[in-house]
Chain A
Amino acid sequence: MRKKAFWIVLLCFAAFLYACKKDKVIEETVSTFLGFKKPANFPEPVYKLENNQVTEAGFLLGRSLFYEPRLSRNNTISCGSCHIQSSAFTQHGHDVSHGIDDRLGTRNSPPIMNLAWNKAFMWGGGIYDLDLQPIVPITTHEEMDENLNNVMEKLKTVSKYPTMFKAAFGTGEITTARFMKALSQFMLMCISANSKYDKVMRKEDGASFTADEQAGYELFKAKCSSCHSEPLFTDGSFRNNGLAPSTINDKGLYTATLIATDRYKFKVPSLRNLTYTAPYMHDGRFLTLNGVFDHYNAEVQATENLDPLLQKDGTLGIALSVDDRTKLTAFLKTLDDPDFITRKDLAEQ
């Protein structure tokens, strides 16, 4: 009998040890970097990942650079200053973003979100490669007002960077290409695909729309989806949605192409994470979703190059009743992704 008890104790201890070991394994799995994973309900990315495979070291370097104020002239502004995670990487509450020395830009900070599927960057286009985008905010007078030569020199003096560049790219050398690729790796990982909508579409956790959400989804498909197409909720095109020209007469895409038919066209923004990204439009002129509904319902102006979809049968805009708005709002809320705005791996460390 004593012998039996001994064996039982030994067995328990062994089981305990085994459990212990398992715990450790699980922990390791959780912290394992998974790299770039295309969500099941998303199309193939546009970004050429074959030219810049996302690695853990590259991502960590990119994150460090994203939150690095040395990218600005007086070391005060980082990418994260105007692209704040809790606002889905926008600058919540600001119509136009403010940068160095509190200088004001002319446009609303767009979200850093699902950029691997972006064909063009900036509200008015002009940039078609994520790897080249950061040059603009770094060198723009109202944003970081710095030049890349100075940035590289500053980074070399911070001991962690040569080490991080070595881990990511094999040597400690800091070059424009490596700097840009690392920033891209971080931004590519800013994927928002865990909203209720995504879970319903992927049939995860038995998620389903409420009656209002479902009705809103139907309305969305009928009235919004030709431009804000699923699953990214933008077709990536540039369109004139009938906003009255702003006081600075921002001509949007035209500035970059000089093609007359591009005048007043701006990039169709995604509707994902709308709750966190107010105000809306390229110049942040609408503070609330209701302001946007008002615009489409009754305020669309017949300006040059107005999108044909906003002037069907000679009627301007899209009719949206009070009931429509309630249901649409219910649906649009299902595009909020709380996980995206709280994920620790995307936050400043």
Chain B
Amino acid sequence: MNIQTKITGLVAVLLLSLSACSKKNDPTPDFDENNLAPLSVEFDNIVGDRTLSFNNTASLYTNAAGEKFSISLVQYFISNIKVTTASGQTYTVNPDSSYFLIKGDNEATRFANVKVPEGDYTKLTFTLGVDSLRSTMDVSKRTGVLDPGTGMDGMYWGWNAGYIFFKFEGNSSVISDDENGDPTGKKQFKYHIGGFGGYNAPTINNIKTITLDLTAGGIAKVRKDRESNIHLLVDLMKVFNGKNSFKIADHPNVMFSEYSTSVATNLSEMFRHDHTEN
């Protein structure tokens, strides 16, 4: 062994110990897009100050206009999840596994499970709805919940090719029995909000991007050996009581129409960060 080999060996050992050292002393892992760990985002549906229960005819909810109502269906698409560290590093979840259909009556669907690099995240961004790129993609790229044929329960408009982003139905005695209300006499309200902006001519765009700061409720510490869960509350009362508040009696059915853009604005207000389980 000559002196040169000895020196090289020594340097290698020193370098190794240095790198090990830096790892041990820094609790935040390096941002490595190949070092992915599990993260879940929980969409916990609530109604104002109460939990969500379906067909709650015995104990109705009351909106800001004083209208009493029950809920029979809540479903919405969450997509394009992104997380950001305090230093501003952003990771976008692989688009092929970043589409979730949250169904109010199916507990298992309340979690959007994704993989992001190990790290400490202070910001969460996601889309309510399905982006225009995916909405116009080849049918073979639209599997799982995005399958326009079999993937979801009535969350696709065939006649005006596109997904329904948010579907919310229920009943209220304030709804009239004529064509302005529910002619079947069931006093049903239906809010089917969609519209991704159109294939070639610009049409209504109700895609909403929501960004939540996690600092106050607790940052997400994503590590391989555990599963961090960002727990969000989704307040369905905001559909009526948001910035563009409205009365159920005035708008018992909102689907593909100009007015849907007003309701869609309220939908952005539904989401708030409650806490994070690390």
Task: Find residues 115-164 in chain B having any chain A CB closer than 8 Å to their own CB.
Answer: 136, 138-140, 142-143, 147-151, 156, 158-161
Closest B residue to A130 by beta carbon equals: B139
Residue from B151, B200, B201, B204 within 8 A of A176 (CB atoms):
B151
Task: Find residues 242-266 in chain B having any chain A CB closer than 8 Å to their own CB.
Answer: 256-258
Task: Take A135-B148, A176-B147, A258-B258 as given contacts and tell me if A181 and B140 are in contact as well, using a CB distance cutoff of 8 Å.
Answer: yes
CB distance from A195 to the nearest CB of B (A): 30
- A257 x B140 contact (CB < 8 A): no
CB distance from B5 to the nearest CB of A (A): 56
A302 within 8 A of B: no
- A257 x B198 contact (CB < 8 A): yes
Closest B residue to A152 by beta carbon equals: B150
- A131 x B203 contact (CB < 8 A): no
| Most central of A122, A129, A176 by chain B CB within 10 Å | A176
- A152 x B140 contact (CB < 8 A): no
When distances are taken between beta carbons in the complex, the residues of chain A under 8 Å from B142 are: 176-177
Residue from B136, B139, B143, B198 within 8 A of A180 (CB atoms):
B139
- A51 x B140 contact (CB < 8 A): yes
Complex CA distance for A128 and B150, rounded to whole angstroms:
20
Closest A residue to B146 by beta carbon equals: A176
Complex CA distance for A301 and B138, rounded to whole angstroms:
40
| Most central of B139, B140, B161 by chain A CB within 10 Å | B139
Residue from A177, A255, A262 within 8 A of B140 (CB atoms):
A177
- B161 x A129 contact (CB < 8 A): yes
Range, interface on chain B: 20 to 34
- B138 x A176 contact (CB < 8 A): no
Complex CA distance for A257 and B195, rounded to whole angstroms:
10
B54 within 8 A of A: no
Complex CA distance for A257 and B140, rounded to whole angstroms:
25
- A135 x B158 contact (CB < 8 A): yes
Task: Take A129-B161, A132-B148, A257-B201 as given contacts and tell me if A176 and B257 are in contact as well, using a CB distance cutoff of 8 Å.
Answer: no
Task: Find residues 253-279 in chain A having any chain B CB closer than 8 Å to their own CB.
Answer: 255-259, 262
A127 within 8 A of B: yes
- A259 x B201 contact (CB < 8 A): yes
When distances are taken between beta carbons in the complex, the residues of chain A under 8 Å from B198 are: 257
Complex CA distance for A180 and B143, rounded to whole angstroms:
13
A148 within 8 A of B: yes
When distances are taken between beta carbons in the complex, the residues of chain A under 8 Å from B204 are: 258
A139 within 8 A of B: yes
A312 within 8 A of B: no
Q: Could you list 11 A-B pairs, sorted by A, with CB under 8 Å?
A: A126-B159, A127-B158, A129-B161, A149-B150, A176-B149, A177-B140, A177-B142, A256-B159, A256-B203, A258-B203, A262-B201
Complex CA distance for A153 and B149, rounded to whole angstroms:
12
Complex CA distance for A258 and B151, rounded to whole angstroms:
27
Residue from A148, A181, A256 within 8 A of B150 (CB atoms):
A148
What does the 1/0 interface line of B5-41 toward A look like (CB < 8 Å)?
Answer: 0000000000000000000000000000000000000
When distances are taken between beta carbons in the complex, the residues of chain B under 8 Å from A149 are: 149-150
Complex CA distance for A267 and B22, rounded to whole angstroms:
67
Known A181-B140, A256-B160, A258-B256; 14 more pairs at CB < 8 Å:
A129-B139, A132-B158, A135-B156, A136-B158, A149-B149, A176-B147, A176-B148, A177-B139, A177-B147, A180-B149, A181-B139, A255-B160, A258-B203, A258-B257
When distances are taken between beta carbons in the complex, the residues of chain A under 8 Å from B136 are: 128-129
What does the 1/0 interface line of A113-145 toward B look like (CB < 8 Å)?
Answer: 000000100100011110110011001100000
- A177 x B200 contact (CB < 8 A): no
A179 within 8 A of B: yes
When distances are taken between beta carbons in the complex, the residues of chain A under 8 Å from B150 are: 148-149, 152, 176
When distances are taken between beta carbons in the complex, the residues of chain A under 8 Å from B151 are: 176
Residue from B139, B147, B203 within 8 A of A257 (CB atoms):
B203
Closest B residue to A131 by beta carbon equals: B139
When distances are taken between beta carbons in the complex, the residues of chain B under 8 Å from A179 are: 149
A3 within 8 A of B: no
The 9 closest A-B CB pairs, nearest first, are A176-B149, A148-B149, A135-B158, A177-B140, A128-B199, A126-B160, A136-B158, A131-B139, A177-B139
Complex CA distance for A326 and B148, rounded to whole angstroms:
48
Closest B residue to A257 by beta carbon equals: B203
A4 within 8 A of B: no
- B158 x A139 contact (CB < 8 A): yes
When distances are taken between beta carbons in the complex, the residues of chain B under 8 Å from A129 are: 136, 138-139, 161
